[in-house]
Amino acid sequence: MTRPTPKTFLVKSFGCQMNVYDGERMREMLGAEGMTPAEPGADADLVVLNTCHIREKAVDRIYSDIGRLLKRSDGERPMIAVAGCVAQAEGSEIQRRVKEVDIVVGPQAYHNLPDLVAQVAKGGHALDTDMPLLSKFDTLPRRARRQGPSAFLTVQEGCDKFCTYCVVPYTRGAEISRPWAAIVEEARALVEGGAKEITLLGQNVNAWTGEDETGNMRGLDGLIRALDRLPGLERIRYTTSHPNDMTEGLIQAHGDVETLMPFLHLPVQSGSDAILKAMNRSHSVDSYRRLIDRVRIVRPDIAVSGDFIVGFPGESDADFEATLQVVRDVDYALAYSFKYSPRPGTPAAGMESQIPLALMDERLQALQALLNEQQHDFNLRSLGRRTSLLLERTGKLPGQLIGKSPWLQSIHVIAEGAAIGDMIEVEIVSAGPNSLGGAMLEMAAA
């Protein structure tokens, strides 16, 4: 049965920043096809759920979201596309489970979304979970001309590390680096569109390598140094990094590249060498600590961030205590911590000594209490500091704007005469656990 071609769309992204980036590219692509974004709160003709498979909870949310879409008050249902890592991992099983899902499209195939929509409009279902090398980026349209002040740019995808708990190597495929020229071109387009800050993204972003315009092999530090010269680009960030790919060159860049922000997200996952070994992380707690020390020598004010998993199979009280100890030693400005979630098909899911949920809950609470305290302390130490602030959105109070400090802290400010996209100077006058209050000093020189 044929169906009308959708005129309006909604793309909803779950999970990591790379999904946020993919979601933006899908919106730009559907826009280029003549579709328009649905008004906030209005029903869309096409709904794309750009999914995350990293933990079980993330997957469950997708099925409850689909359930809601099927209960629309007007009795109609939109064309439904499941994209992202759940699409890649579950493929046609999704359509077997919920026949109303019209399209299943993997993270390396979403450039085909308009064709898949056209196919469904002619009648039937569509599925594309191919992993062609890089063709997605080759065929996506140039970045939209209007950008927010802070933009994401995927430079690297996939993972060859195979941590025993993680689905990414299966859902995103092998590690690949986008070519230098394509990245520089996209960064230029983003800046022309209004971006002042670019966050370079990759599952292991610091594994990025490629030839520069003279044919020399460069690492992520070389790319950052090239982007540093891009007129109008004022801030560069990158995430997520793996400790094993933290090169001396990248560490040095934190010391001398002015636009590289003093923030490093470097997950350790556990403070126990035995657990790191079982996780196949291939770094030790000590090598991780030494990395942090080296970065702090070149950039003493750097804000360090991390990821932690509690309750990995076999984690003893002593292993967990070792995690608390590495947290105390490193002193994090911000961190993400998760209960271990067994993922189908990963080696850890079949390991003995799975940890009971109640114990995981207890450990997560203790870890988060410590991390929250450190985050609050980091914020309190910012009191009185004068810093730049890139304004990104409006706040709840009249005249209030919100942006980020170089250390990725949210700062609220009443900024008369300033607008979203401006870089202003502020003094930090208040500090809470999750955000700071600033007083505007002046507009920063461009």
Q: How far apart are CA 277 and CA 269, in angstroms?
A: 11
Pick the binder of ligand SF4 from 218, 242, 339, 404 (CB under 6 A).
242
Q: Taking CB under 6 A as the rule, which mask of x and - marks residues 136-155 in contact with ligand SF4?
A: --------------------
CB 229 within 8 A of CB 213: no
Between CA 433 and CA 278 the distance in angstroms is 34
- Cβ distance 320 to 145 under 8 Å? no
Find the binder of ligand SAM among 164, 199, 341, 387 (CB under 6 A).
Answer: 341
> Exactly one of 168, 292, 302, 322 binds ligand SAM (CB under 6 A); which one?
168
When binding is defined by CB under 6 A, the residue of 50, 171, 204, 375 that contacts ligand SF4 is: 204
The size of the interface with ligand SF4 (CB under 6 A), counted in residues, is 10
Check residue 169 for interaction with ligand SF4 (CB under 6 A): yes
Question: How near is the Cβ of 271 to ligand SF4 at its closest, in Å?
Answer: 16
Token pair recorded at residue 84? 């992202």
Least distance (Å) between residue 244 CB and ligand SF4: 9
Q: Are 435 and 409 in contact (CB under 8 A)?
A: yes
Nearer to ligand SF4, 46 or 166 (CB): 166
- Comparing CB distances to ligand SF4, the nearer of 165 and 378 is 165
Contact present, 421 and 149 (Cβ < 8 Å): yes
Binding ligand SAM (rule: CB under 6 A), the pick from 14, 238, 338, 378 is 338
Write out 240-297 in H/E/C secondary structure.
CCCHHHCCHHHHHHHHHCCCECCEEECCCECCCHHHHHHCCCCCCHHHHHHHHHHHHH
Supply 128's token pair. Answer: 């594309």
State the sign of the Cα–Cα–Cα–Cα dihedral 145, 182, 236, 153: positive
Nearer to ligand SF4, 174 or 419 (CB): 174
CB of 419 to ligand SAM, least distance (A): 34
Asked if 53 touches ligand SAM (CB under 6 A), the answer is no
CA-CA-CA-CA torsion sign (73, 75, 78, 82): positive
Adjacent-strand bridge partners of 211: 217
Span from 92-100, 192-200, 340-348, 394-402 in contact with ligand SAM (CB under 6 A)? 340-348
**Rounded to whole angstroms, how far apart are CA atoms 333 and 335?**
7
Task: Say which residue the tokens 């230098």 belong to.
Answer: 180
What percentage of the chain's residues is helix, strand, coil (to nearest 5)?
35, 25, 40
- Minimum CB distance to ligand SF4 smaller for 178 or for 404: 178
- Residue 343 binds to ligand SAM (criterion: CB under 6 A): yes
Q: Which of 162, 181, 353, 432 binds ligand SF4 (CB under 6 A)?
A: 162
Interface region with ligand SF4, contact rule CB under 6 A, candidates 4-12, 108-116, 164-172, 220-228: 164-172
Contact 66, 99 (CB under 8 A): no
Stretch binding ligand SF4 (CB under 6 A), from 29-37, 137-145, 156-164, 252-260: 156-164
Q: What residues form DSSP beta bridges with 288?
A: none
**Contacting ligand SAM (CB under 6 A), which of 242, 363, 404, 412?**
242
Q: Which residue, 112 or 203, has its beta carbon nearer to ligand SF4?
A: 203
Select 84 or 149, whichever has its Cβ closest to ligand SAM: 84
- Cβ partners under 8 Å of residue 193, min gap 6: 143, 144, 145, 146, 147, 151
Of residues 51, 95, 199, 203, which one binds ligand SF4 by CB under 6 A?
203
**# residues contacting ligand SAM (CB under 6 A):** 18
Which residues make up the interface to ligand SF4 (CB under 6 A)?
A: 159, 161-163, 166, 168-169, 203-204, 242
Site residues (vs ligand SAM, CB under 6 A): 16, 54-55, 165-166, 168, 203-204, 240, 242, 267, 269, 307, 309, 338, 340-341, 343
